[in-house]
Amino acid sequence: MLTSIESSEAATPRHDWTRSEVEALFDLPLPELMFRAMAVHRAAFDPAEVQLSQLLSVKTGGCVEDCGYCSQSAHFDTGLKASRLMAAETVIADAARAKAHGAQRFCMGAAWRELKDRDLPELARMISGVKALGLETCATLGMLTPRQAAELKAAGLDFYNHNLDTAPEDYARVVSTRTYDDRLETLGHVRAAGMSVCCGGIVGMGESRAHRAGLLHALATLPVHPESLPINALVPIPGTPLGDSPPLDGLEFVRTVAVARILCPRSVVRLAAGREGMSRELQALCLMAGANSIFIGGKLLTTPLPGEDQDRALLADLGMRAMGAQPTGAEPLALSA
């Protein structure tokens, strides 16, 4: 039975969280934090369901931004070869294969500072073709103008991803070529165009717990919570400024997921980058703490994922199933054999 606090957290999302309240959630004993997160999760979602997403890099490398975690920045020598924007037909074929392998959502990422108008027609064909397959569509293409956001919406784009990365006061340590306000401005254009927002961050970049609280506080106090909230664990890339960051403790990562679930009770919390380096037990704890989406396929943009066999076995062992699948008489995870 939910306490009045947990019932309120689940029923009426708050946008007036204080930073001290968020830090206090992080400081709770882990069993108490997990209990509250699980209660909130159950009030908004089926805790046995996980949305299966796949992310394709449709334009890799050569980005003029200097994001300190990113292998695709032209500022750093990471050995990654830059490529041009993929043809729409190739992307649509990849999306069809992803759907056949169980994906319910298909995300397209391009390594750009901002979207150029010249690329809009090909992107529109790409998005409309993926949407026609019956997949939920998401894209991350850098900063947008209001008109560009409207054109992406008209093409059939459901979600636009634009992460805040870290706390406002920690942002300049991670990125110097754009500002936090630049990020927020693009999110405003996405909202104004009628698209849903996919926005989260990265942990394990050498930030403090207070910075992790600051990131989640920034997300929880947006006028509308992100409908999609990815939490990435840094995959250190040699040659990047953050490539030597010490790994984040696994239980601290679980705390971050749990706090995100409590703060944004109706968001789909996505267990994103870094999962390949997590144990089965750590992934299970994250799913118990309120994460309800994973990325499947061979890689997430340029970083590896566990692979279909491991994902199928993990979710089957947990008794979990793809979002929307029947709870009885169906495979726990609808991935191809």
Please name the residue that has the structure tokens 């298909």: 106
> 271 with 256: CB under 8 angstroms?
no
**Separation in Å, CA 310 to CA 99, 320, 327:** 18, 14, 21
CA 94-99-103 angle, to 5 degrees, is 110
List residues with catalytic annotation: 63, 67, 70, 107, 138, 198, 270
